[in-house]
Structure formats: structure tokens, C-alpha cells
Amino acid sequence: MKNQLDVIQALRQSRHDWLNIMQLIKGNLALKRYDRIEEIIEQVTQQSICESKISEIQASSVAYFLLTYNWFSNKMKLEIDVAGEVFSLEKEEVRLLRLCEEITEKLTNDCTIENENNLLITFLFTDYDCEVTFDFQGTLTKKEDWHSFLKQWESTVKLVELNERECVLTASFPRN
């Protein structure tokens, strides 16, 4: 029964998201802002393509987490970008899910609610690996404990940038 309730919840949330997009288009249509309507359609198209690609990584728990994250969190908006020829990350699923969960949880706990907070997770697929970049833009209240957080990930995760407004981390997963 729980699976049916999950599907109903997913359909409800998806319908809500599409209605929001339609309201944006209707509002801009009423204002005769046709260029903005084109931007909205392009953004939705790109988002749909990325969501489709993330569903192809054969790591269903990761795809589920990323695709439903915004339904359950209102402190930070998550976006996904996927570049390159997608390959299976099935063998890395547990580690990748844990990484995504722990980084999003840490960022959510460390960011303020006074400002807009965004996390862009980019999957760059190459011939040899998949580089995953976590690019947070917003306001962080704690910066000092990131180094201890990263120690648990040994050399898997690298801190690229860290300041009050930005945190960028990268991780690499080999092609199997």
C-alpha cells in the first residue's frame, strides 16, 4: 500500500509543480512578456532533460533522492545538471547516495533561512569517470567544521571553494 501512496504523492507534487509553471506562463502572457515565456519554457525543457538523464544512471535511490529533494526541503533549492554521455553508476549507488544525503544535510543545517539558498549538483560524464560537483550559493553560518566533515570522505571529496556565500565540492566516480 505504501508504494501506491508514494505514487499518488509523486503525482500530486508533479501536478503542483506543473501548475506553478503554467501560472508563470499565464502571468507573463498577460504582461505580454513573451521573451520571459520563452525563457521559462527553455528552463523547463532543460530541467526535464536533466531529470531524464539522471534517471538513466541506474542508481534508483540516488535519482529518487535528487528528483524529490525539493518536495521535502524549503530551506535550500536543489537543481541538477547532467553533461556528457550517461553511464551506469549502479556499483557506486550506496556511496553516491550517502554523499548526496550528507552534503545536502550539512548545507541545509549550515545555511540561513533569511536568504535564498541554491545547490546545483552537476554530473559530468567523461570516458573515464563521472565528476559530481556540488555548487552551493547562499549564506552559510558555519564554515569551520567542513574540514572535519571532509575527513570522513578521505580523498574522495575535494573542497574547491568555501566562503560565507559559496561552497563548492567535487567527487569523482570511476566508470565501471
Would you give the DSSP letter of residue 176? -
For 96-151, how does the pLDDT look when each residue is reduced to its tens digit (9 = 90+)?
Answer: 999 999 999 999 988 888 889 999 999 999 999 999 999 999 998 876 678 788 88
d(CA 76, CA 174): 29
Q: What is the pTM of this model?
A: 0.85
For 39-94, how does the pLDDT look when each residue is reduced to its tens digit (9 = 90+)?
Answer: 999 988 888 888 889 999 999 999 999 998 988 877 899 999 999 999 999 999 99
CATH number (3.40.50.1000, 3.40.50.300, 2.40.70.10, 3.30.565.30) of 59-174 reads: 3.30.565.30
